[in-house]
């Protein structure tokens, strides 16, 4: 199957590292011009340089902006007034006992993980509908379905994304635009390494720490290892393609079999 995104423009939020960077690279390999987003301009330029090294023929644009602010959103919209593919990947996470999560933290998780995606969808979806083609994705998590006791504020935000994705898919019905959520499982990123070491012995070598984390905190995984970011990206690139034209309104799993259900 050849996935050809030539002539398409994509925006991947929170894409200076980890899953977002892998998605940006995958879309570029398929031929899309990709807007790469992060808050720190210098770090973002380094990230784009790394992406160009990975995908020498790829087309990338650095869009430095904090999407949790109106100013940052406006900066992105000025830089990329139209996109064909919007991948809402930006998200924050962290472990905290449920009864210690403050109102301010609840609001911050909802603002960053949900409302940033809503604002960009509201901005870009009308143009996609007018052009008769578009792809909107929300990178959710197994935590949307199997709420982790150690970070229910994060799980709440990802559950909300599933509702957002289904709702906007109805708004796009019959227009040639598809809207889907991607349920990503436990994934190996630098941020997740930090998270793992919050929960297991910091003196353990990474491979032992990873196995201990999966055994003690994610025993449901059928993969029995962390997923690599490129494995998440593969699904996102497919959902961005013409071949995925009949997949919309879905919560599509790339979770290593973590969620013990035949449905999300």
Catalytic residues: 154
3-state secondary structure the chain: CCCCCCCCEEEECCCCCHHHHHHHHHHHHCCCEEEEEECCHHHHHHHHHHHHHHCCCCEEEEEECCCCCHHHHHHHHHHCCCCCEEEECCCCCCCCCHHHCCHHHHHHHHHHHHHHHHHHHHHHHHHHHHHCCEEEEEEEEHHHCCCCCCCHHHHHHHHHHHHHHHHHHHHCCCCCEEEEEEEECCECCHHHHHHHHHHCCCCCCHHHHHHHHHHHHCCCCCCCCCECHHHHHHHHHHHCCHHHCCCCCCEEEECCCCCCCCCC
């Amino acid at each position: 199957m050849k996935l050809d995104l030539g002539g398409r423009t994509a925006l991947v939020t929170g894409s200076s590292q980890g899953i977002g960077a892998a998605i940006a690279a995958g879309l570029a390999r398929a031929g899309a011009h990709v807007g790469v987003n992060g808050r720190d301009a210098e770090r973002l330029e380094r990230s784009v340089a790394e992406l160009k090294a990975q995908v020498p023929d790829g087309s990338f644009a650095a869009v430095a902006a904090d999407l949790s602010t109106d100013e940052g959103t406006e900066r992105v919209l000025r830089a990329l007034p139209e996109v064909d593919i919007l991948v809402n990947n930006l998200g924050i996470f962290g472990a905290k006992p449920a009864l210690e999560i403050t109102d301010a933290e609840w609001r911050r998780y909802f603002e960053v993980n949900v409302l940033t995606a809503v604002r960009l969808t509201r901005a870009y979806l009308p143009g996609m509908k007018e052009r008769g083609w578009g792809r909107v994705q929300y990178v959710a998590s197994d935590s949307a379905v199997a709420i982790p006791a150690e970070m229910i504020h994060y799980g709440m935000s990802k559950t909300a994304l599933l509702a957002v994705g289904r709702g906007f898919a109805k708004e796009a019905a019959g227009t040639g635009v598809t809207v889907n959520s991607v349920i990503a499982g436990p994934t190996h990123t630098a941020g997740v390494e930090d998270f793992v070491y919050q929960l297991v012995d910091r003196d353990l070598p990474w491979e032992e720490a990873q196995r201990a984390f999966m055994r003690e905190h994610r025993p449901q995984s059928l993969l029995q290892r962390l997923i690599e970011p490129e494995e998440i990206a593969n699904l996102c690139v497919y959902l961005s393609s013409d071949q995925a034209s009949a997949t919309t309104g879905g919560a599509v799993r790339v979770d290593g079999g973590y969620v013990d259900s035949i449905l999300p």
